[in-house]
Structure 1
């Protein structure tokens, strides 16, 4: 009977750490952690991961993290759904699309990314309303188009007021804007700052609208079976945030440009945000994205905050 009781207690202990957000938060890194593979985009949301890797913060947690760079959200999401990634720097739209397509992903924290609408240097445009009928580059059905539509709504314009030019790859979008082939483009950082540094004009962006749909996500499988690994990752991530906020930028900017795949111009142009330690997204940032997707007929389901967000911090 005593052996049976011990077995039951062992099973219950395992069950506690298996579920989303129900595991005990360990203070110390456990031994024998499984590797994590995480997809990154060429934006400032990825910088804490680069720092945590290069400064050895992941290794000090006993965790191996493989960072995989992507140039477009489509390529990142394909890798995620094909099982090549455990998690990714992503956004609420990608989360909703994955869930709608039957692929389970969980949001585990928000990010500090910024998305900006930038007018071309030779466009003569100085206000959002002047973009009516003009070519504006976005990536279709992504956070970029979402932010663009929110900007138009704020300016009392509709989504059809502009001619959306679909350019999925971020570096290509920046290049075409700088070459005068577009009136404007919506870009993440650091590409937005590079464009402004090279003569383009900032119009407005997600910070000005008070929206932040950027997230870090993990597959449902990783959330269920790599609970301790994700917690160790976030401990290292938070150390990287402290480092970034307390260290002069010139001490690490070369590393960030090299490892992040940023253009050399980012060295002078890049202005990093004040990073926040890992925390869950605001409920409004989740529900507003879901509402936009439903209004555009891109998803049929109405997902709640609890459907998509998982507390593994």
Structure 2
């Protein structure tokens, strides 16, 4: 009987070791992913996952490419230089409408804020009537700006939209008083407020969240294991950011995120969430806005945009 028990234990141990070896072998088989980031708080879980070695723990190599404008990021994605990117519903719709198939795999936790310059004296949306407000054309920034105006029952032409695609340039011009206001992502919005500008309102106050992580359809079809490994590391980074004292990571993310030095004091992080699919209303509202401006031809549905790689 003892011999039989010893044999069973030996077989279980061999099976366990073989299983571990199989998992290690599977990790070795993962192909690298190249991800495009923007200078915003949406990108920070990726930076933490990279710097803390969470991707490596999952047996995955992630090449991070950073961009200052959505146009440059989208061009890199469509030219095949990226597998996926921190992005937004609008960019997804434009890509699909142009015949380039991409898929949303989760939402992000960034926010977008309308900030008035110190020189303008504006404290409300109404105060900005007829004044120069910087946005990036046909992007999440303009979408949020238009949603803010709609909430205040103001037409789009009640402000003078100044098109400034690059986020750092938009921030600099706002702080120098060359604009009455600008719509900015975090942390640039908090930096502007820290330097004397005035917060007016933003996407959090509107209850909208059009920020997403997207991949090419080819990547979501052929690289499910890599994406799953990426999100396991992403979720570890979310836990780290939510549960670690700010002083332990602030220098790292300011340096690696490409933020101005003032971000060290000004940066306010959201409470990050584990990877989750976006709300249907966020997709529907973005498509409705794009259709109203005749920027896309098709009335896309939630299923056209979103693929669930998180529960497979």
Residues of 1 paired with 2:176 and 2:282: CA distance?
34
Q: CA deviation at 1:312?
A: 0.5
Matched residue, 2:134? 137
Residues of 2 paired with 1:221 and 1:257: CA distance?
33
Residues of 1 paired with 2:122 and 2:57: CA distance?
50
Indicate yes or no: 2:270 matched with 1:296. no
Which ranges in structure 2 are unaligned for 5 or more consecutive residues?
A: 1-22
Given the alignment, which residue of 36, 41, 53 partners 1:44?
Answer: 41
Q: CA deviation at 1:77?
A: 0.1
Matched residue, 2:254? 257
Q: CA deviation at 1:140?
A: 0.1
Matched residue, 2:50? 53
Residues of 1 paired with 2:186 and 2:75: CA distance?
23
Matched residue, 2:303? 306
Matched residue, 1:85? 82
Matched residue, 1:237? 234
Alignment of 1:71-82 (within 5 A): 71-82=68-79
Matched residue, 1:20? none
Matched residue, 2:120? 123
Matched residue, 1:177? 174
Residues of 2 paired with 1:241 and 1:138: CA distance?
29
Matched residue, 1:189? 186
Matched residue, 1:207? 204
Residues of 2 paired with 1:169 and 1:265: CA distance?
18
Q: CA deviation at 1:220?
A: 0.6
Greater displacement, 124-133 / 183-192: 124-133
Q: CA deviation at 1:98?
A: 0.1
Secondary structure of the structure 2 residue equivalent to 1:215 = strand
Q: CA deviation at 1:130?
A: 1.1
Residues of 2 paired with 1:221 and 1:85: CA distance?
12
Q: CA deviation at 1:158?
A: 1.1
Residues of 1 paired with 2:103 and 2:122: CA distance?
40
Matched residue, 1:64? 61
TM, length-normalised to structure 1: 0.91
Matched residue, 1:16? none
Which ranges in structure 1 are unaligned for 5 or more consecutive residues?
A: 1-27
Q: CA RMSD in A?
A: 0.7
Matched residue, 2:18? none
Given the alignment, which residue of 87, 91, 95 partners 1:94?
Answer: 91
Residues of 1 paired with 2:304 and 2:283: CA distance?
10
Secondary structure of the structure 1 residue equivalent to 2:30 = coil
Residues of 2 paired with 1:143 and 1:306: CA distance?
20
Matched residue, 2:12? none
Residues of 2 paired with 1:158 and 1:90: CA distance?
27
Residues of 1 paired with 2:249 and 2:205: CA distance?
28
**Residues 103-151 of structure 1 deviation map (CA, whole Å, 9 limit, x = unaligned):** 0000000000000000001101111011111000000000000000000
TM, length-normalised to structure 2: 0.91
Number of aligned residues: 286
Residues of 1 paired with 2:253 and 2:46: CA distance?
10
Indicate yes or no: 2:246 matched with 1:272. no
Q: CA deviation at 1:269?
A: 0.1
Matched residue, 2:146? 149
Given the alignment, which residue of 216, 219, 223 partners 2:220?
Answer: 223
